[in-house]
Amino acid sequence: MAVLAGKVAVVTGGGIGIGFATARAFRAEGAKVFITGRRKEALDAAVAELGADVTGVVCDVSVSSELDALYQTVRDQAGRIDVLVANAGVGTVAPLGEATEEVIDSMLATNVKGTIFTLQQALPLLSANASVILTGSTATTRPNQGLEVYGASKAAIRNLARGWAHSSRTHGFRVNVVSPGATRTPGLLDLVTPEALEQAEGEVPLGRLAEPEEIAAVTTFLASDASSYVNGAEFFADGGSAQV
């Protein structure tokens, strides 16, 4: 039996990369899925590829009113949320001495504020024992040069999960973090040079970068009832790069 059969899932940043792979995995396991993205064209293409029982909603998670519109759509079409994946995030190279206010504000607005309000505004829709999954990063413990601000924003995600885990009894959800290492996504391929990618591969004990589907598999486990007693945890999917 499909492990997410009958469940309603929301995946922010679901139009590309890890979010898209997660939405596809959820759909394959029987869930009705809502995905968000900031670019309508990319979102429409993702929905067309994912097929039935997938709804795309244009939404910038850093804008509270757009999250309200997202959740109104979910309320009207499904009435509840069983799985919430706060995946939307941005990463920009910002070396010390060159980080601008605009770049810092953008990363913190999407990665931190956006994650907070993604969960907070979903609370009225969360079903009993809902699974909330936040996308972190190995940059929290091993930030590459130029990604210190990005790493700090993802460290905030880990801390939020620790704090929110204490709210599980009150609000009826459990919350965990999936922290990928370097993964072959459009965002990474646009961010670093081919030489840097080759170097990154050499630093991974498994000798390669992750594929988005491998991260999605971990998220699917946390979304399923098989992880019903997992709460406040961080799962690293990094080939060992931040572990040894």
Distance between CA 41 and CA 48 in Å, rounded? 11
Distance between CA 189 and CA 56 in Å, rounded? 24
The catalytic residue among 71, 150, 235, 236 is 150
Residue 215: closest CA among 199, 239, 242: 239
Cα 139 to its chain centre, rounded Å, is: 15
Annotated active-site residue 150? The verdict is yes
Tell me phi and psi for residue 32, to 5 degrees: -90, 130
Distance between CA 37 and CA 60 in Å, rounded? 7
With H, G, I as helix, E, B as strand and everything else as coil, classify residue 217: helix
Structure tokens at 196: 């840097």
Q: Which active-site residues does the annotation give?
A: 150
